[in-house]
Structure 1
Amino acid sequence: MAIGKILIVDDDENDQFICEYTIRKFDPSIVIHKAYDGTEALALLRVSMPNAIILDINMPVMNGFEFLDHYATEFINHAPVVAMLTSSHLDKDRERALRYDFVKSYFEKPLTLDHLQVMKDLLDDVR
């Protein structure tokens, strides 16, 4: 199955560009929404829930972990696949992110076609 709709949450415009480019290369039919911090992402999610979320950790205003805390308590129905995409190589960050049952993957930047294939496979398993 196709990913359908994806939300990229990252404060860095270059990383946003790389994500969008890679997603378009993987499947040009994927609808892409963007947020530059956790608060902007939560506002978008209140309107429409994507099939997948790609989330950075280090962002101003509301970082990825703060977003996960709010997301876990505010939303009963979660996106089927939430993937952390970060430059953090720290095991403690990976372990902290994967404590949330809706976080399915932890990838190191940049986003690759292989990462997207993992996300698609996870979506196939959920459906």
Structure 2
Amino acid sequence: MREFPYFHNGKEALDRLKAIVTAGENLPEVILLDLNMPVMDGWEFLDEFTKVPPAKKIIIYIVTSSIDPADVEKAKQYEAISQYIVKPVTVDNLKEILNNF
């Protein structure tokens, strides 16, 4: 699996992923998405990213400190979301993600 960088905000990630889609480059298989990011939060990222249809399915895991039931319910509205993981992320969480491949 090819390594992809991490981004400090949703705008940086969105811009890079759009460029990858446009150029026909290899897309990541998984995105670990924090909801609480500066510039563009995770919800804004999801709204914009779903408008850019990638050539393959990308599995998105929300990784957040939010335990708000409204956030959990909102995440269920996005088809691309595989799982909602509350921080801190454990070794078992990461093993589960890896086992899904």
Task: Single out whichever of 63-72 and 31-40 deviates more from structure 2.
Answer: 31-40
TM-score scaled by length of structure 1: 0.67
- Equivalent pairs counted in the alignment come to 95
Greater relative contact order (CA < 8 Å, ≥ 6 in sequence) = 1
Contact 1:57 1:84 in 2 (8 A): yes
- Identify which range, 104-113 or 81-90, moves more after superposition: 104-113
Cα RMSD of the aligned pairs, angstroms, is 1.7
Runs of 4+ displaced beyond 2 Å = 75-80
SS of the aligned residue for 1:58 comes to coil
Structure 1 unaligned segments of length 5 or more: list them.
Answer: 6-30
Aligned to 2:83: 105
Q: Indicate yes or no: 2:13 matched with 1:35.
A: no
Aligned residue among 88, 91, 95 for 2:66: 88
The whole-number CA distance in structure 2 between the counterparts of 1:78 and 1:42 is: 16
Q: Does 1:60 align with 2:38?
A: yes
Give the 3-state SS of the residue equivalent to 1:68 in structure 2: helix
Change in 2 beyond 3 A, CA 1:77/1:100: farther
TM-score, normalization by structure 2: 0.82
Higher strand residue share:
1
- Structure 2 unpaired stretches of 5+: 21-25
- Tell me if the contact between 1:38 and 1:64 (Cα under 8 Å) persists in the aligned partners: yes
Query: 1:34 is matched by which residue type in structure 2?
Result: Y
Q: Deviation string for 1:77-113 (max 9, x for gaps)? A: 4553100000000111011112111100100112222
> In 1, distance between residues paired with 2:5 and 2:89?
16
